[in-house]
Amino acid sequence: MTADPSTRPAAKPAAATLITVAPTGAELEKSAVPALPVTLAELVAAAKECRAAGAAIIHVHIRDSEARPSLDLGALTDTVHALRAATDLIVQLSTGGAVTDSFDRRLAVLDAAPDGCSLTCGTVNFGDDVFLNPWPFMCDLYVATQERGVVPEFELFDIGQIAALHRLLDTFGPPHGGHVHCDLVLGVPGGMPGDAATVAQAVAALPAGATWSATGVGRTSLPVMFAALAAGGHLRVGLEDTITFARGRPVVSNAELVERAATLADLAQRPAMTPERARAMLGVQNRN
Residues 7-36 that bind ligand KMH (CB under 6 A): 25-27
By beta-carbon distance, which residue lies closest to ligand KMH? 96
The answer to whether 22 touches 236, Cβ cutoff 8 Å, is yes
Q: How far is the CB of 26 from ligand KMH (least distance, A)?
A: 4
* Near ligand KMH by CB under 6 A: residue from 67, 75, 99, 159: 99
| Alpha carbons 175 and 59: distance in angstroms, whole number | 18
Q: Is 119 exposed, middle or buried (0-12, 13-18, 19+ CB in 10 A)?
A: buried
Binding-site partner at residue 155 among ligand KMH, Zn ion, none, CB < 5 to 8 Å by type: ligand KMH
Give CA 1 to chain center in angstroms: 23
Q: Least CB distance from residue 70 to ligand KMH, whole Å?
A: 12
For residue 178, the 8-state DSSP code is: S
Contact 101, 134 (CB under 8 A): no
Residue type, 116: G
Closest CA to 199 of 167, 242, 174, 229: 229
- Residue 240 or residue 264: which is nearer to ligand KMH going by CB? 240
Q: Dihedrals φ, ψ of 131, to 5°?
A: -95, 110
132 near ligand KMH (CB under 6 A): no
**Residue of 23, 37, 54, 96 interacting with ligand KMH (CB under 6 A):** 96
Q: How far is the CB of 59 from Zn ion (least distance, A)?
A: 6
Choose the stretch contacting ligand KMH; rule: CB under 6 A; options: 30-38, 92-100, 216-224, 274-282.
92-100
Which residue ranges make up the site for ligand KMH (CB under 6 A)?
Answer: 25-27, 94-96, 98-99, 118, 120, 126, 131, 155
